[in-house]
Amino acid sequence: MTKCQNCRHAGKHGFCSLGEDAKAFMDTNSVTMEYPRGSVLFREGDRPSAAFVLCSGKVKVSASSREGRTMILRIADAGDVLGLSAALTNGDHEVTVEVLEPCRARVLPLKFLHNLLRDYPDASLGAAKVLAVDYRAAFDEARLVSLPGSPAGRVARLILDWAAEAKKNSAAFVTMTLTHEEVASMTATTRETVTRTLSKMRKEKVISTHGVALTVLQPRVLEQMSAC
């Protein structure tokens, strides 16, 4: 049986770095669930019933307008906590969370979550840190979409962000598993523009791609594009 007490994400994220007793409390009061690709943890507008701690896999966090326009806020992975802001503010979920790569997640029912926060001070501090991460993701998305003048600039910025992330994990290249459509949703543009922008970057040797592997050849040029 999977337990929080021997989780290797310990220390990295808000709810994975709790004290032993809080973790034991989590182990006895929550269950681990498996979710296949395509399943939805919760939808925008849903009344929250639980928060989720991702143990493995990747999920897409998005919001959309009635007209079908979609904004992808971020791609979350192991250690990230989903649905906490709605749980804390007693409001409905403001985002939809959909599984991209098969996931294992710890499910924390609302009532249990509130008890956890009430009884374990490090849990509420952990919650604050989780919220800080959520905030940062939303802020970065707002910044990404607002600041660079052109769609091409936003795509450039996104690639730079990915490259920085890849570097942190000491990877030589970026693994781009998103479709152009999804990239468009993260950069407030259209699929065609993403395709064209990437084509142009390839032609001008600013990036190179082999399948899902994307390598940044001239970061300076991307910087310049994204700043304009």
Partner DNA sequence: TAAGCTAAGTGATTGAAATCACGAGAAATG
Partner DNA sequence: CATTTCTCGTGATTTCAATCACTTAGCTTA
Which residues sit at the interface with DNA, rule CB under 7 A? Answer: 149-153, 179-181, 188-193, 195-196, 198-199
67 is a site residue for its own copies (CB under 8 A): yes
111 is a site residue for its own copies (CB under 8 A): no
Nearest CB to its own copies, comparing residues 39 and 64: 64
Residues 137-166 that bind its own copies (CB under 8 A): 138-139, 141-143, 145-149
Nearest CB to DNA, comparing residues 17 and 187: 187
Q: Which residue, 94, 63, 58, is CA-closest to 76?
A: 58
> One symbol per residue from 1 to 40: x for binding its own copies (CB under 8 A), - otherwise; what is it?
----------------------------------------
Q: How far is 134 from 146, CA to CA, in rounded Å?
A: 18
Q: Among residues 11, 66, 169, 172, which is the contact residue for its own copies, using CB under 8 A?
A: 66
Nearest CB to DNA, comparing residues 72 and 81: 72
> One symbol per residue from 209 to 228: x for binding its own copies (CB under 8 A), - otherwise; what is it?
------------------xx
We find the least distance from the C-beta atom of residue 23 to its own copies, in angstroms, to be 18
In 3-state terms, what secondary structure has residue 121?
helix
Q: Which residue, 101, 97, 104, is CA-closest to 46?
A: 97
Q: Which amino acid is at 216?
A: V
We find the least distance from the C-beta atom of residue 179 to DNA, in angstroms, to be 3
Q: Which residue, 107, 193, 101, 90, is CA-closest to 151?
A: 193
- Enumerate helices (H) and strands (E) in the chain, giving the number of each: 8, 9
Give, rounded to a whole angstrom, the gap between the first and last alpha carbons of the chain: 52
Q: Among residues 5, 47, 49, 135, which is the contact residue for its own copies, using CB under 8 A?
A: 135
For residue 199, the Cα-to-chain-centroid distance in whole angstroms is 26
Q: Which residue, 26, 21, 35, 34, is CA-closest to 4?
A: 26
Joined together, the tokens standing for residue 9 give 């994400």
Residue with tokens 């599984």: 99
Site residues, its own copies (CB under 8 A): 63-67, 69, 71, 73, 85, 88-89, 94-95, 117-118, 121, 124-125, 127-129, 131-136, 138-139, 141-143, 145-149, 188, 227-228
